[in-house]
């Protein structure tokens, strides 16, 4: 029988000494992290520093720029381009709200009502990604064309009168108006709303709906009190994924808008690539970044969802 | 003892600490070749850590592990002739059953595995399922795959980490017998970690009861049950009535004790505590060893038995037996299990009764211990 | 009213289908207009059916060249971002180390940053370093913004992986390399594949960052952008349609194969 006291058999002398304990993997994480993190530091973080520095430089293309702590650039940039700033935030907010209103039913449909169509609908939501978004945005030029079906219908239903009065459209046109730009932004970022919404809706146990119904909640009450609160993580990440890129976008404004719909992205692009006024462009870009980071931080704190990453 | 001792597992002074927390206090343990050994204890008692140190998945802080004559303390797991059946099985989800079982053979560079794998799958009655993925099997089948995947390598020692924990009660019983059969058939050393005392007792030749990173007691199941050495073992394995008593005198091989005014006799050989006159010990008796007589029949109780008087507080009928809770001067709550042979209709709550048992069934424990150690409430807390 | 009741019950379905239509309408237009024979330089108005563009997809000067540049960049960017991102994910999930919080933020921030800001700041860096803008600067930028997405996808997968599987492999005589190749990698593969696919799509379709850092190199999105000013050839629609169909067919085929495999085994 086994015992605690049994005499240990003598060690065979031929037995080679066992390997010494190795400190396995102490530096492994650093080696794994090094290349990727270095890449991000050099090509993401460092450029932000350069940009901050450029924004307080003065000089000219011919004579070169020097850091002179010229903060007035910020003030000048803001006072000249505040309308584009405000416009960008308004358009982005409008597109985000529209995305939520349009995207939620579809995400809900896929999560709870699609049955065997679920995979097919998912493919249809994702597949447009594989056609260049510029080509798809150009298609809106056809859809919203002045003599097209959409404009005709809106006109004969007198909806255009309403949007004209609101200042969203002008005359008999939709193209080259704020409505077209917001419509394009909504279209472009809608999948970024639908996918996180779907992910968080799909996690909800279907029995919760039955339980709510069992406890005398009508369908709408069930949605308000059970489904929607539980989908909050999806709502938060969806709105962020829509709002942030929409606020910095300049493609929709350029292709579907006019000079009256220029957003801050257009200004930064023009300053950087055409006018070559680097300090102003850098300052504008910096302000945009700061504004968005501040808004996102406040938004995440208020919605209490900090585990987005 | 056989001359082949290559399947012996010998732990000397092996211990494991994580920072300030000691998971396993340095312990010595020898498991002889071919035995079925169980490490039994509540969760967090260090049993799994001990097992993982034998497997090589955890490096001991101190001490050595020997397999036979070979010191394997610092060998990585893939160089040890030891295989593990993991808790919740850890079957590779991307491989089918056949490839799961063949995994170890292939890693050792064995080319023709087909015959061996098929034989092994037949042994665990899964020949038909070879091309299924693990998630397509039931819990019991997955468990058998895990055993086959380990056994096909002909390890010197098979380690089982709560292998039956995920199964329901009925299946667990069936698998206990199955594992025992396989062990007898292949004849290799099994070390089995479990928190289920019944499982440990049905399957193992030797059980080591662990508590707080230490081995409390080691022995055969009957030995541990009949003669527990600590309150933890007494309470964790089955149920024990523990009565505080004062040592009155010594008469021959027996110790005479006083408990709440009653006289009890305890064979000195069955007491693990020092017994100076006037000292205190805990007297233990298993509930099924106690007989229960109505107070009116007190005269019929034979001489020479330990006896206590009391009153029934509660009775629950559970089929094979009736479990009574009796209040007495010596102890506030005594459990008594009476076999359901002839039921005495007078034994209902409120009835005065006499409890009696043979002194030979009594055991004595050191009174300095926590009397509740190892009870369900204490373990759960 | 039965009609009202029916509408009420299917409100979600109706709204969802309308959204789906909104999402797919441009693709329909792109496809239809790939068969157009426009008058003038722009392909915004339907004129008459024609297969000309489909017969000569590379009939436009420089377009297929830009397509090939985009594909090359997408392949290399995917490879780079997937390898670097997978390494980071494993480090984040499997090891403890200093500065974890800072590293997490560094990975999260590129996803929370408007593209135009990253584009402009990266250009500032390249100008300051005097780097030659072109293929390599585009590639560097693409690896940078794809990295975070790969990390997110792979991390989720590695986190949900049972560490006991690797222990089981080591217990069954697989050394560290074998364990990684035979167990860890196959199980993490769906996450890695998802990250790679996302990288490819993001890189291939990127316009804003590319536009800032391309110099005189023209990728496919930049070609489309330029054509919006100069005149849109029908071939653009042909490419767009072909890509869409290819994606749908690929996904459908892989789903069919999956279904068949599952039904065979069940």
B103 contacts C169? CB cut-off 8 A: yes
Spatial distance between the Cα atoms of A193 and A185, rounded to a whole number of angstroms? 12
- Does C266 have pLDDT greater than 60? no
Place of tokens 């007078």: B346
CB B196 within 8 A of CB B236: no
Share of chain C above pLDDT 70, in %: 97
Partners of chain B (3+ Cβ pairs below 8 A):
A, C
Q: How far is A106 from chain C (nearest CA, A)?
A: 4
Does residue A161 register a pLDDT over 90?
Answer: no
Give the per-residue pLDDT at C97.
83
> For residue A212, what are the contacts with CB-CB under 8 A and spacing of at least 6?
A221, A222, A225, A226
Note the pLDDT of residue C7: 83
Q: Tell me which chain A residues have a C-beta less than 8 angstroms from the C-beta of B75.
A: 18-19
Per residue in B48-107, pLDDT tens? 999 999 999 999 999 999 998 899 999 999 999 999 999 889 999 999 999 999 999 999
Q: What is the pLDDT of residue C71?
A: 95
Q: Which of B93, B103, B153 sits opposite C187 (nearest CB)?
A: B93
List the single range of A163-177, B27-41, C210-224 with lowest mean pLDDT.
Answer: A163-177
> What residues in C contact B163, CB-CB < 8 Å?
none
Which percentage of chain B shows pLDDT scores above 70?
A: 98
Mean pLDDT of chain C: 90
Cα→Cα distances A40→A178, A285, C100, C136, C146, Å: 36, 19, 15, 16, 11
Where in chain A does DSSP place strands (E)?
57-60, 64-67
Q: Is B90 on the interface with A (CB under 8 A)?
A: no
What CA–CA distance (Å, rounded) separates C220 from A134?
10
pLDDT at residue B380, as a whole number: 59
- Give C-chain residues touching B78 at CB under 8 angstroms: 170-175, 178-179
Residue of B nearest to A11 (CA): B69
**How high is the pLDDT of residue A286?**
93
Facing residue for C115 by CB, picked from A28, A124, A248: A248
* Interchain pair B8, A8: CB under 8 A: no
Mean pLDDT of B333-344: 89
Give A-chain residues touching C212 at CB under 8 angstroms: 269, 272-273
Rg (CA), chain B: 25
Instruction: Please enumerate in sequence order all residues whose Cβ is within 8 A of that of A206, keeping only pairs 6 or more positions apart, or say none.
Output: A112
d(CA C266, CA C264): 6
Taking only the tens place, the pLDDT of each residue in C220-230 is 999 999 998 88
Assess A33–C contact: CB distance below 8 Å, yes or no.
yes
Asked if the Cβ–Cβ distance from B205 to A1 is below 8 Å, we say yes
Return the closest-CA partner of residue B157 out of B62, B95, B224, B82: B82
pLDDT 10s digits, A4-31:
333 333 333 333 333 333 445 678 888 9
Say whether the ipTM exceeds 0.85.
yes
């Amino acid at each position: 029988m086994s015992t605690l006291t049994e005499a240990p058999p003598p060690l065979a002398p031929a037995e080679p000494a066992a390997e010494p304990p190795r400190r396995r993997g102490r530096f492994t994480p650093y080696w794994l992290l090094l290349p990727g993190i270095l890449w991000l530091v050099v090509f993401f973080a460092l450029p932000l520093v350069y940009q901050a520095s450029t924004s307080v430089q003065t000089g000219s293309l011919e004579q070169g720029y020097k850091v002179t702590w010229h903060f007035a650039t910020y003030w000048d940039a803001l006072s000249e381009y505040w309308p584009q700033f405000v416009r960008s935030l308004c358009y982005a907010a409008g597109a985000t709200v529209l995305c939520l209103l349009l995207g939620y039913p579809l995400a809900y449909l896929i999560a709870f009502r699609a049955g065997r169509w679920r995979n097919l609908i998912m493919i249809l939501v994702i597949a447009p990604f594989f056609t260049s978004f510029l080509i798809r945005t150009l298609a809106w030029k056809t859809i919203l064309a002045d003599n097209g079906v959409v404009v005709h219908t809106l006109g004969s239903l007198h909806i255009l009168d309403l949007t004209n009065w609101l200042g969203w459209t002008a005359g008999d046109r939709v193209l080259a108006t704020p409505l077209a730009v917001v419509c394009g932004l909504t279209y472009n970022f809608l999948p970024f709303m639908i996918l996180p919404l779907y992910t968080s809706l799909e996690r909800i146990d279907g029995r919760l709906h039955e339980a709510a119904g069992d406890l005398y909640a009508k369908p709408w009450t069930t949605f308000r009190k059970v489904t929607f609160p539980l989908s909050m993580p999806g709502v938060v990440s969806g709105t962020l994924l829509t709002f942030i890129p929409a606020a910095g976008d300049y493609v929709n404004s350029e292709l579907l808008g006019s000079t009256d719909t220029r957003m801050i992205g257009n200004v930064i692009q023009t300053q950087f690539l055409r006018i070559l006024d680097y300090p102003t462009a850098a300052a504008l870009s910096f302000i945009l970044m700061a504004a968005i980071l501040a808004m996102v931080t406040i938004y995440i704190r208020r919605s209490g969802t900090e585990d987005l990453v | 003892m056989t001359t082949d001792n290559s399947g012996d597992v010998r732990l000397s002074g092996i211990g494991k600490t994580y920072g300030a927390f000691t998971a396993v206090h340095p312990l010595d343990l020898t498991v002889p070749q071919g035995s079925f050994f169980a490490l039994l204890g509540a969760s967090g008692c260090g049993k799994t850590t001990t097992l993982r140190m034998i497997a090589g998945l955890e490096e001991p802080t101190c001490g050595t592990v020997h397999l036979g004559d070979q010191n394997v303390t610092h060998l990585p797991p893939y160089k040890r002739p030891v295989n593990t059946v993991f808790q919740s099985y850890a079957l590779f989800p991307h491989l089918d059953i056949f490839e799961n079982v063949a995994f170890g053979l292939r890693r050792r560079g064995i080319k023709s595995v087909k015959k061996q794998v098929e034989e092994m799958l037949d042994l665990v009655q899964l020949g038909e399922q070879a091309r299924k993925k693990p998630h397509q099997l039931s819990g019991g089948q997955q468990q058998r795959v895990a055993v086959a995947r380990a056994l096909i390598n002909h390890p010197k020692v098979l380690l089982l980490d709560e292998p039956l924990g995920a199964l329901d009660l009925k299946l667990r019983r069936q698998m206990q017998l199955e594992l025992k059969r396989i062990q007898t058939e292949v004849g290799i050393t099994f070390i089995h970690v479990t928190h289920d005392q019944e499982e440990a007792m049905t399957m193992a030749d030797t059980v080591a009861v662990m508590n707080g990173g230490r081995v409390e007691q080691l022995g055969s199941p009957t030995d541990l049950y009949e003669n527990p050495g600590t309150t933890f073992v007494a309470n964790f394995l089955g149920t024990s009535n523990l009565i505080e008593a004062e040592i009155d005198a010594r008469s021959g091989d027996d110790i005479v004790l006083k408990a709440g005014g009653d006289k009890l006799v305890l064979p000195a050989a069955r007491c693990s505590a020092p017994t100076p006159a006037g000292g205190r010990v805990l007297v233990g008796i298993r509930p099924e060893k106690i007989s229960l007589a109505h107070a009116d029949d007190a005269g019929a109780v034979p001489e020479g038995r330990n006896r206590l008087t009391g009153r029934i507080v509660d009775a629950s009928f559970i089929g094979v037996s009736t479990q009574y809770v009796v209040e007495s001067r010596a102890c506030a709550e005594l459990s008594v299990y009476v076999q359901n042979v002839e039921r005495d209709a007078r034994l209902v709550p409120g009835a005065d009764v006499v409890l009696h048992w043979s002194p030979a069934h009594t055991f004595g424990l050191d009174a300095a211990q926590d009397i509740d150690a190892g009870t369900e409430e204490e373990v759960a807390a | 009213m039965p009609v009202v009741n029916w509408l009420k019950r299917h409100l979600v379905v109706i709204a969802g289908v309308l959204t789906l239509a909104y999402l797919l309408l441009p693709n329909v237009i792109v496809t239809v207009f790939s068969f157009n024979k426009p008058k003038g330089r722009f392909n915004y108005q339907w004129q008459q059916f024609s297969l000309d563009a489909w017969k000569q997809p590379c009939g436009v000067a420089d377009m297929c060249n830009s397509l090939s540049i985009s594909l090359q960049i997408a392949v290399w960017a995917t490879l780079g971002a997937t390898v670097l991102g997978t390494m980071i994910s494993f480090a984040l999930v499997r090891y403890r180390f200093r500065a974890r919080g800072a590293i997490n933020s560094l990975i999260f921030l590129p996803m929370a940053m408007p593209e135009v800001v990253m584009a402009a700041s990266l250009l500032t860096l390249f100008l300051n370093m005097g780097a030659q803008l072109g293929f390599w600067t585009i590639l560097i930028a693409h690896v940078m913004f794809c990295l975070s997405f790969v990390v997110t996808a792979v991390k989720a997968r590695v986190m949900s992986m049972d560490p006991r599987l690797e222990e089981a492999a080591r217990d069954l005589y697989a050394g560290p390399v074998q364990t990684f190749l035979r167990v860890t990698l196959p199980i993490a593969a769906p996450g890695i594949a998802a990250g790679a696919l996302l990288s490819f799509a993001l890189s291939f379709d990127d316009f804003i960052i590319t536009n800032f850092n391309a110099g005189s190199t023209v990728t496919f999105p930049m070609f489309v952008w330029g054509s919006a000013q100069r005149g849109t050839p029908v071939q653009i629609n042909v490419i767009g349609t072909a890509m869409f169909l290819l994606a749908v067919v690929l996904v459908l085929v892989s789903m069919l194969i999956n279904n068949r495999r599952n039904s065979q085994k069940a």
